[in-house]
Structure 1
Amino acid sequence: MLVIRPVETKDLDRLYELANLAGFGLTSLPKDEKVLKSRIVESVHSFAKPAEKPRGELYIFVLEDVEKGIVAGTSNILSKVGGFEPFYAYKIQTCVHESKILSIRKEIQSLLLVAEHSGPTEIGGIYLAPEYRKHGVGRLLSLFRFVFMALDPKRFEPKVIAEIRGVVDDRGQSPFWEALGRHFFDMDYSKADLLSIANKRFIADLMPTCPIYVPLLPPEAREVLGKAHEQAKPALRMLEEEGFAYSGMVDIFEAGPIVECPLGHIRTVKESRLTTVDQITTGQMDSPPFIIARSQGDFRACMGAVDETPLEGIRISVQVAETLSLSLGDKVMISPLRSLPSQTKPLVGVH
């Protein structure tokens, strides 16, 4: 069985291995062991403290193969971007230039640097080892985060965003960065991306604040503007199925698209509901897969079949019960891994 749980300090070595497997452009899974360790410590503290409202807590999760005892994937949630460390992005805006004398009218796109000091919740840092990319595991690793949000929505902002990894080659070269950022920062894309995790002050110090006209960029930079990395396209499609849409903004380093959705409009959140474990069975269960998360104690989630019972609770397998340490009468939050036409019980309290 595969279980999703909060990261622990013992996971550092394996997460560092996954970070080096992930390639370039995954900012929230850094290839720097010291930075990664500090993020794990920050996450442990975030899970430990009560949260009445989002204050920038970082929640890192890992996907563990229980039978093999190894961490196979990771993803995270940042409860709120901004604050002491603003969230920077380029907003793509269109302006009109017109000459009535020459009968010429041009709509010109430009990039405007925006700094968000009190921003939305952000999901990111998702990576799954190649051998586990089957049977809906990648979907589980992404979508369970919305079940976690549904369990305690006051920890999160009303809007959720995701920065989709942009185009970066196997050598860590970004066409957009080479055309724009390098001229102001005098460093490689990978170094600038890593520095932005620890301190974003240099962005405000060096990045131009005046609009940058897109037609003045070289063709190779314009071509990747708002484009997702080939490996990130499945994740983008999945989020679009959940209700996310392009925000009109791109990442300042490699120009990957930023997508957004109101928390209460996310498909997994809308179809989440709190229910009770009425039966635990050793028999065969044939229902479509659900994301199942225990609602009390340390967070744990997995994928499994769910059957309704006459008492308006659910029946789960003994494997799910053992994986999540569930007993009869325990409360769980469930949501179908894929939308079910018959799903009619929305979560109360998320708007």
Structure 2
Amino acid sequence: MLVIRPVAPPDLDDLLELAGQATFGLTTLPRDADFLRQRIADSVEGFGRLGSGRPRGEPLLLVLEDTTANRVVGTAGVVSKVGGFEPFYAYAIETTVHESVDLGIYKEIRTLHLVEEHNGPSEIGSMFLHPSMRGQGAGRVLSLSRFLLIAEYPANFAETVIAEMRGVIDERGHSDFWDAVGKHFFDLDFPKADALSMTGKQFIGDLMPRHPIYIPLLPPAAQAVIGQVHQNTAPALRILQQEGFRFTGMVDIFEAGPIVSCPRDELRLVRTSQRQVVVATVPEKSGPATHLISTTDTTAFRCCASSLEQTAEGVILPATVATSLGVTAGDTVRTGLIQQAPSKQDTPEAEPT
């Protein structure tokens, strides 16, 4: 059985093993025990504040647990609000017009403008799935579970939700965009700068250029990757687009990956999921999982993918699912359609943050 739940201190060793499978660009899952230990502690504290009524920047981390093997095989995160003490930085793609009436020349030139946001949206990220789990639909379920969490506690999240998608970098951690722009101001290679951004963002404000960057002046290789996603991130982007996310016109300042967003209340699962009473449990039946089912208890969020039987009084759940969620007849759960079974091409490996 695969169960999605909040990360806990005993998960540290599994997270370290999982981090060893990650490639460049997943800065929130480094193979660093001290960093991950603090990440776990921050998430535990954040989940303890669910139901408090407003977003305070809690970095919540969910894990996908294979209860049969008793190990964590995936992660997915959501920060309730970015900005605040440490601002959120991005490049906005804008178009400026240069025209000479005398010469009959009219030019529309794309430029990059640094955006510094102190009162930002919620942000999803930290999506990573162990290679052994890919191509089975687990990635879609893990990704969507965050939206049931948001649906259950909407007041704890901002009115807009964004995702920074991993941009184009190669297997050595090389980024053409970084080499053309950021490296001139930081004197650091891309992996080092990206990792530093997780420990603090003051250096970004200190060193990033404040004036517009004219895109046509960049090398062709750097221009070509602006707003493009890494090939392994394309499935994750497709899933988010199906849930309502759209390109914002902004890109990441390091490798120019696209930033997508959706109003919180327009997310498909936030709109369509509903609370229902468990009226009974039955033995497991064969058949595909059609729904995401999550608990509504603020102290023990759990989520599973399963079939269910709808009745006028509520839902009937497979007994194994009810046990995994820790619910019995009379309890309330939140349910939402998975929508469509993913193909192998629609199983996300990772989101960048």
TM-score with structure 1 setting the length: 0.94
Structure 1 position 286, deviation (Å): 4.2
Is contact 1:293-1:300 (8 Å) kept?
A: yes
Is contact 1:285-1:317 (8 Å) kept?
A: no
Is contact 2:269-2:336 (8 Å) kept?
A: yes
Partner of 2:103: 102
Q: CA RMSD in A?
A: 1.4
Is contact 1:276-1:329 (8 Å) kept?
A: yes
Describe the shift of the 1:68–1:239 C-alpha distance in structure 2 as closer, same or farther (beyond 3 A): same
SS, match of residue 338 in structure 1: coil
Structure-1 separation of matches of 2:126 and 2:317: 30
SS, match of residue 181 in structure 2: helix
Is contact 1:7-1:60 (8 Å) kept?
A: yes
Structure 1 position 284, deviation (Å): 2.0
SS, match of residue 312 in structure 2: coil
Structure 1 position 71, deviation (Å): 0.4
Q: Which runs of 4+ in 1 moved over 6 A?
A: none
- Percentage of identical aligned residues: 50
Structure 2: runs of 5+ lacking an equivalent: 342-353
Deviation string 1:270-324 (CA, Å, 9 cap, x unpaired) is: 111000101100152647511100111411111101111232x001101101111
Deviation string 1:200-240 (CA, Å, 9 cap, x unpaired) is: 00000000000000001101100110000000000001111
Structure-2 separation of matches of 1:10 and 1:158: 33
In the comparison of the two structures, how many residue pairs are matched? 339
Counterpart check, 1:131 vs 2:132: yes
Partner of 1:158: 159
Is contact 2:280-2:316 (8 Å) kept?
A: yes
Structure-1 separation of matches of 2:233 and 2:96: 30
Partner of 1:211: 212
Is contact 2:284-2:320 (8 Å) kept?
A: no
Is contact 2:294-2:303 (8 Å) kept?
A: yes
Partner of 1:18: 18
Structure 1: runs of 5+ lacking an equivalent: 341-351
Structure 1 position 52, deviation (Å): 1.8
1:1-351 alignment runs, 5 A limit: 1-50=1-50, 51-284=52-285, 286=287, 289-296=290-297, 297-311=299-313, 313-338=314-339
Is contact 1:267-1:339 (8 Å) kept?
A: no
Deviation string 1:166-187 (CA, Å, 9 cap, x unpaired) is: 0111111111111111110001
TM-score with structure 2 setting the length: 0.93
Structure-2 separation of matches of 1:86 and 1:56: 11
SS, match of residue 182 in structure 2: helix
